[in-house]
Amino acid sequence: MISLIGWVKANLFNGVFNSILTLVTLYLLWKSVPPLMRWAFVESLWLSTGQECHAAGGACWSIIPGNIRFMLFGFYPADQQWRPLAAMAFLIGLLFYRRDRRHWKKFLAYAWIVGLFGMGLRMRGGLLGLTPVESTQWCGLPLTLVLSVFGLTAAYPLGVVLALGRRSKMPAIKTLCIIYIEMIRGVPLISLLFMSSVVFPLFLPEGITVNKILRAQVAIILFTAAYIAEVVRGGLQGISRGQYEAAESLGLNYYLTMRLIVLPQALKIVIPPSVSILISAFKDTSLVVIIALFDLLRTTQTALNDPQWMGFSAEAYIFIALIYFLCCYFMSNYSRRLEKELDRIL
Amino acid sequence: MTSKKEESATTGIIIEIIGMHKWFGDFHVLKDINLNVRRQERIVICGPSGSGKSTLIRCINRLEEHQRGRIIVDGIESTNDLKNMEKTRAEVGMVFQHFILFPHLTILENLTLGPIWVRQVPKAKAEETAIYFLEKVHIAEQALKYPGQLSGGQQQRVAIARSLCMRPNVMLFDEPTSALDPEMVKEVLDVMIDLAEEGMTMIVVSHEMGFAKSVAHRVLFMDFGQILEENTPQEFFENPQHERTQLFLSQILH
Ligand SMILES: Nc1ncnc2c1ncn2[C@@H]1O[C@H](COP(=O)(O)OP(=O)(O)O)[C@@H](O)[C@H]1O
Ligand SMILES: [Mg+2]
């Protein structure tokens, strides 16, 4: 008790200015937290119709169970929604399984490849007696996850290749990589998405169309890779010339030197900035709404257009924010663990 | 090339450097270097800092490229041919001043990396060889540690063992003890003396007189990118011919 009072004195009331600051903060908390709590938990409704919500004064969480299927899966045929659900469950299982570095074996890489294609296949159907579902009906959370998981998985290796290319001794390759990286970094993702949906089809021969999701996917990969490339390049600069020379003097060629000596060390250095990029890329997938793809955010907005639920957008957006937060938290938490594990080694 | 190889086997010359020059941009680092090294011969190179000693031995396994003259190592001429270059590097072991180990790999992995990936030795066999050489440098008990956990002297011995695992015909040492604390110098020199007694061909850049006297067949003195003097250790230290050698020796002896 004494020590608590001591702590309060030392940290909150040491000096006039800090005392005022503490009092003002306390007042603001007193004014804002109780009403928020009342809104969110006391006067809130969890399982009701929209009408009941309008009558009550608190938060209308009922909007979420009421619309969950549409928010998560959008226009995907209702009787087939188990398919994306299973695909997502599989993906999340794989992600959690991968958290343990002891599981990093060759077969895991195959599991990933099989898993990713399986995921696409399961959603698309047309095989194994599954009804085909047009990709225009892919919506909501599965779309967000497909775009980001495929996007990030493909963007990282591409970024590494670009980073190596930018440091190459061959002028042609080097120039190409620099032009690519600087051009992509010079435009916003939105304009790339527009180009992929509006400009790109102009160059295709008549009658040939490329799936819209695929085009958005490619735009996201190309965009993210350029940023990854610069981060990885920073990591490569952190590897001393001695490491290259020691590897070369053992007779390792360029490819083996990079794969066995340089990249493992360089990529470890750049885990924190890489994860920042991956997190922001994940959130940026919500920009695909502007080319009329129905990702998680868009399906939610659409659900809000239902007159029954009009006016409860805050609740729905809080829910979406929570999903995004969980995903991003998983990424940063995972990267911190990985870093700690590798720290013990280096 | 085979004829060259046979020739070098019969004449017993393993490294042949003929009229070699090297420039760094405008800077003429190595001037008209001529040197023959016989099999099992041990050569110590000394000379003031900046005289081109490191550059010379780095040219031998083509970590640096020379511009004029020829360098022939075990019958293979040093050119830009990648395949030959990698072959030569695998034949020639190199130990650096700053014992550059791979920090992300265990000691054992540091040693097996080359044999497994360059020589395609099976993993079990490579590990067996690695343990053998770790025992030779008296450090087998550290096999599963990471380089960062070892002292400088231990790291340098690991670096030597790593080169030996490639079964090189020649070992190059670039001031292997000059970055070490004095109490660790001996443990590294002892390993090198063992190696010499087994008949390894060695070129050692070093200012360790005791080592030079006890193992070297020849001592070379370099300055301004030239080999100014070469002699048996006995003659070299007791009766230096060139005035720059005399000056240099008087400086390092005190
Ligand atoms: N990569 C390089 N580029 C330019 N100059 C270099 C390079 N490496 C070494 N030098 C120069 O070449 C000369 C010889 O260097 P070095 O062979 O390391 O000498 P030593 O090993 O005898 O001290 C020095 O003057 C050094 O500054
Ligand atoms: Mg040197």
Residue A127: what pLDDT?
62
| Interval A47-74 mean pLDDT | 78
User: Which residue ranges make up each domain of chain A?
Assistant: 133-345
Tell me whether residues B63 and A245 touch, CB distance under 8 A.
Answer: yes
* pLDDT computed for residue B3 by the predictor: 47
Amino acid at A23: L
How many of the other CB atoms lie within 10 Å of CB of A5? 9
Residue-wise pLDDT for A291-344, tens only, equals: 878 888 888 888 888 888 777 888 888 988 999 899 889 888 888 888 887 776
At A258 the pLDDT is 92
Nearest CA to ligand 1 atom 26: B50
Q: How far is A260 from chain B (nearest CA, A)?
A: 9
Query: In whole numbers, what is the pLDDT of chain A averaged over residues?
Result: 83
Backbone angles phi, psi at A14, to 5 degrees: -90, 95
Mutate to test the pocket of ligand 1, among B45, B54, B226 (most ligand atoms within 8 A of CB): B54
Distance CA A342, CA A332 (A): 15
The pLDDT score that the predictor gives to residue B115 is 92
Please give the Cα distance from A89 to A109 (Å, whole number): 18
What is the complex's ipTM, to 2 decimals?
A: 0.87
Question: How far apart (Å, rounded) are the C-alpha atoms in residues B56 and B46?
Answer: 12
Model pTM score: 0.81
Residue B26, token pair as written in the block: 């405008």
Give pLDDT tens digits for A131-169: 777 777 777 888 888 888 888 888 999 999 999 999 988
- Cβ contact A242–B61 (<8 Å): no
Residue B5 has pLDDT above 60, yes or no: no
Q: Which of A184, A193, A195, A283 is nearest to A227 (CA)?
A: A184
Q: Categorize the per-residue pLDDT at B44 as very low, low, confident or very high, splitting at 50, 70 and 90.
A: very high
Q: Which residues in B lie closer than 8 A to residue A242 (C-beta atoms)?
A: 96, 98, 100
Local confidence band at B87 (pLDDT 50, 70, 90 cut-offs): confident
Q: Specify whether the CB–CB gap between B170 and B93 falls below 8 A.
A: yes
Mutate to test the interface with B, among A101, A239, A248, A249 (most CBs of B within 10 A): A249
Assess whether the C-beta atom of B51 lies below 6 angstroms from ligand 1: yes
Q: Cβ atoms within 10 A of the Cβ of A55, count?
A: 10
Cβ neighbour number for residue B16 with a 10 Å cutoff: 20
CA dihedral A279, A283, A285, A291 (to 10 degrees): -150
At residue B131 the predicted structure's pLDDT band, cuts being 50, 70 and 90, is very high
Smallest-distance ligand from the CA of A245: 1
Q: Tokens representing B21?
A: 């020059």
- A337 token code pair: 């663990």
Classify domain A133-345 by CATH number.
Answer: 1.10.3720.10
CB contact under 8 A, B87 and A251: yes
- Pocket test of ligand 1: the residue of B23, B24, B56, B227 to mutate, having most ligand atoms within 8 Å of its CB, is B24
Q: Determine the angle formed by the axes of helices B152-164 and B107-117, rounding to 10 degrees.
A: 20
Say how far apart CA A220 and CA B95 lie, in whole Å.
46
The token duo for A54 is 């309008």
How are beta strands B76-77 and B27-38 bridged, if at all? unpaired
**In this structure, are residues A346 and B148 in contact, taking their beta carbons and an 8 Å threshold?**
yes
